[in-house]
Amino acid sequence: MNDPLFDSPVILENDRVRLEPLEPLHLSPLAAVIQYDPSIMKYASLRVEDEATLAAYLDDALGSKAIKFRYPFAVFDKLTNTYAGSTSFANISYPNRRLEIGYTWIGRQHQRTGLNRAMKYLMLQYAFETLGCYRVELKADSRNQQSRTAMQQIGATFEGELRSYTIKPDGYRANAVYYSILAEEWPQIKAERFAKQGNMKIVNSTMEDIEEIFRLYRIASNYMKERFFVSWPEFDRGMVEKEISENRQWKLVSGTDTVCIWATTFNDPQIWEERNADPAVYIHRIATNPDHRGQKQVSTIVDWARHYAANNNKHLIRMDTVGENEKLIAHYTGCGFNFLGLKTLQDTSSLPQHYKLGPVCLFELPL
């Protein structure tokens, strides 16, 4: 009987992540990721604290693969071009059309960046749409609130808690919590929870995009005029062209559509004044294509910005808006930013015209 998981290598890939079969050669890159931080494997069934125990962890995973209990992957983060961790299919039962997604860990620098969601999308899609599974299980140590929250956020249903389920390396008997997704639930979960996965990617804008950039600016400005006191002016074309030439203009694209655009800088002294010395990435002028509104684009940008900041040795992500807009304040704080309050700028001479219309709201997200 043909076994689609074990008869040939399985590689799952999209624009954000590649899941490739775990091999002994992954020991060195995974060691660089885990750095033997005890918090990463805190709830694992095997202790990993040095190269020898990491090698034992890989041997255990490959041994489980040899008996077709588990199919382990190495996780490659395409955003940072580095390995990020490991995950597996396990407890595979073809007669019952059931498997588990588990044994997942990713390095601290890759957590809360959207990588885990991208991984889960590929694995759930493969389980339901290629393997024909009816049920996909996920479980966690009941104390692992981060994993439990992640399972809930992808739409998995909590099924219960099994007491004294596993003996941990320190001798503690841990309870296990079970979640699941069923085949009839997958289409709705895929549409609602994973709408941003698949063919969306973030790239630099080019000079060929400039008309679309200004089209989206005008749409955003008109939207603001209808609803808010402050709206964007017609921005200087030379400013935008300079941002493009310096690779500081970005776009989120889906197929041939530009979903949204924004600009970044590492230097924003007129707005942030004495705080400009802090190691920060500043995000400006997010404008969304109206055909894609309501898809939580700011959250996507924040996920991307976490890695962009870390790769450029920055420890803060910052944004600002002009005027006291309670809806925007709630929106940005809901995306993880701290609202630092209102500030009246001392010098607006070289800033776009709308900065002269009122105080600015400052937002900051520490990494």
Highest mean pLDDT among 67-71, 81-85, 195-199: 67-71
Q: One fold for both 12-193 and 200-366?
A: yes
In this prediction, residue 302 carries a pLDDT of 87
In this prediction, residue 62 carries a pLDDT of 96
User: Region 252-258: what's the mean pLDDT?
Assistant: 82
In this prediction, residue 122 carries a pLDDT of 95
With CA atoms as reference, report the closest residue to 213 among 170, 263, 282: 263
- Distance, CA of 106 to CA of 41 (rounded, Å): 9
Whether pLDDT at 199 is above 80: no
Neighbours of 123 (CB within 10 A): 20
pLDDT in tens, 273-294: 999 999 999 999 999 998 877 6
Asked if 251 and 258 touch (Cβ cutoff 8 Å), the reply is: yes
User: Region 186-211: what's the mean pLDDT?
Assistant: 84
pLDDT in tens, 94-128: 999 999 999 999 988 888 778 898 999 999 999 99
Domain layout of the chain by residue ranges? 12-193, 200-366
Structure tokens at 278: 């802090």
Percent of the chain's residues with pLDDT above 90: 65
Q: What is the CATH number of domain 12-193?
A: 3.40.630.30
Q: The sheet that has 200-204: what strands, in order across it?
A: 200-204, 249-254, 257-265, 280-288, 316-322, 360-366, 338-343
As its CATH architecture, domain 200-366 has: 3-Layer(aba) Sandwich (3.40)
Q: How confident is the model at residue 269 (pLDDT cuts 50, 70, 90)?
A: very high
Whether pLDDT at 351 is above 60: yes
With CA atoms as reference, report the closest residue to 270 among 261, 282, 262: 282
Asked if 355 and 321 touch (Cβ cutoff 8 Å), the reply is: no
Whether pLDDT at 129 is above 60: yes
pLDDT in tens, 41-55: 888 887 788 888 899
In this prediction, residue 108 carries a pLDDT of 85
Highest mean pLDDT among 1-5, 326-330, 338-342, 349-353: 338-342
- Distance, CA of 291 to CA of 90 (rounded, Å): 40
